Amino acid sequence: MSDGTATGIVRAMITAFELNHGRLQQVTVESLEDLQHCHPVWVDFESPTEEEREWAKVQFSIVLPEADEVDDLEASARFFEEENGELHIRSDFFQHTDEDSNTMRVAFILKNGMLFSLRRDELAQFRLLRLRARRQPYYVRDEKDVLLQLLDIDVEYSADIIEGIYDRLDNFSKQVLGSEMSDDTAGVVLSGIAVEEDLNGRIRRNLMDTRRAVSFLMRVKLLNDHQNDEGRQILRDIDSLDGHTGFVFDKLNFLMDATVGFININQNRIIKIFSVASVAMLPPTLIASIYGMNFRFLPELDWEYGYPFSLALMAVSITVPFWYFHKKGWLKK
């Protein structure tokens, strides 16, 4: 298909893949005739138009679900088998960039030795599968291998993101446990921890969805022995990553508690300064209050050195508490 129109909008695409000497060979579909002249093991639909949906119905006798049907299904209804033998799977694939992280739900249909996939946009996992299947002979041998490898690559993708979280947590640890932390630094660290905790939760949810998809494939008994072994390996990898996400949650909670603790320490230092200043100012305030009383008889009022005496008394009353606090070490940070 053409890459775009005059307005620059990218057209939807159908891409078919045939197995040729153990390698996936890509066939770009621009018409119904292109579909009729190929023998695909995998047909990938990216935001198909109504015309392209009709091609799928005519050539393969399948009805592609609408976008709202893919996204709005309950979790318990995303894996099912039709009476005509079609196997339907809705699985989430994780997408992560420096700016955003989210999941894209992809609809899969297994029918008559072919895999049909329906998605809204390009996915890194799909690109990697196409690359590997072109370069490695017999990386996939049939349509079920394609689906299993896509799910396996999604698990690998999640593992790579978890590794990135580990690296960023190491940087946060150095900031939190290193030199004295300012409130500004603590704010940056808390913001980063919140982002990583949200990302870790999304990964954990995506892994749970992938586990359900693999378990369903194994439960319907369509896989051969080799594919069942592959499915069990994927489940073991997911279990391993679950442990890592649990550790990440614990590490994030520790760093958050430590950061909040440092913020509290900084606030306590400020409160201590105000407390010391308040206590030190109490004696001179008391002296000023005494000599400010409107009694008729105050001996020091008529004394020539009364004013200097009161100032000196105030100075001493301030100095003595500060000396005492310094001696006790209460003025140290």
pLDDT tens-digit map of 180-215: 777 788 888 888 899 999 999 999 999 999 999 999
**Confidence at 76, pLDDT banded by 50, 70, 90:** low
Query: Within 13 Å and on the Cβ side, how many CA atoms surround 175?
Result: 19
Cβ–Cβ under 8 Å, residues 138 and 22:
yes
pTM passes above 0.85: no
Which of 67, 78, 44, 16 is CA-nearest to residue 216?
Answer: 78
pLDDT tens-digit map of 94-109: 988 877 888 899 999 9
Domain layout of the chain by residue ranges: 265-328
Which of 105, 121, 113 is CA-nearest to residue 145?
Answer: 113
CATH class of 265-328: mainly alpha
